[in-house]
Amino acid sequence: MQTFKDNTNRDWGISLTIGSAMLVKEKLGVDLLQPETGDPPLMTRLGTDEMLLAQVIATLLESQFELHKIDANQIYQSFDGATFARAHEAFYKELIDFFQNRGRPDRAKAASKQMKMIQAGVQAAMIKIDGIEVETVIEQAMAKVNNELKMI
């Protein structure tokens, strides 16, 4: 079980079991035990669709709602950026552990690679964003507008 704290300092544990995977599949139609299936593959969807990932994580946490005296809406409200990042990391680590212990190192490795790809993608985007020269972009846009106005 992987744990994290939410923005109100409550402790949560993400546990992937056959039962919790069945619950996710029943409620969301998402088969966590076959992350390579689908188009795009589920692993890719979970890495790019944050709302889907939040729904999966919330479903995995449902058994703890009563303990914390909250419901699904309240868990989503407690998923600020930092909390969601911690939950996201805990989810992937739990997925990796499950498949490693299940004897499916291929799926564990795929989940691990997905985590690394997300991190690398964020880094690449940051580098690209840092390279944008705002003044140059504005000057180019203004030059284009001026040229279009001259044609009128």
Q: What is the pLDDT of residues 5-37, one digit of tens each?
A: 999 999 999 999 999 999 999 999 999 999 988
User: What pLDDT does residue 86 have?
Assistant: 94
DSSP SS3 for 4: strand
Token pair, residue 116, equals 């690394």
Which are the contacts of 71, defined by CB distance < 8 A and separation ≥ 6?
65
Which are the contacts of 41, defined by CB distance < 8 A and separation ≥ 6?
35
Determine what percent of the chain falls in helix, strand and coil, rounding each to the nearest 5: 70, 5, 25
Structural domain harbouring 37 = 2-150
* CA proximity to 67, closest of 12, 27, 23, 14: 12
The model's pLDDT over 51-83, given as tens digits with 9 standing for 90+, comes to 999 999 999 999 999 999 999 889 999 999 999
Distance, CA of 86 to CA of 90 (rounded, Å) = 6
User: What pLDDT does residue 151 have?
Assistant: 77
The model's pLDDT over 84-143, given as tens digits with 9 standing for 90+, comes to 999 999 999 999 999 999 999 999 998 888 777 777 766 777 788 888 888 887 888 888
Distance, CA of 86 to CA of 5 (rounded, Å) = 7
Give the residues across from 4 on adjacent strands.
Answer: 12
Token pair, residue 16, equals 């992937």
Give the dihedral sign, CA 92/96/98/104: positive
Please state the domain count of the chain.
1
User: What pLDDT does residue 122 have?
Assistant: 65
The Cα angle at residue 86 between residues 26 and 3, in degrees rounded to 5? 70
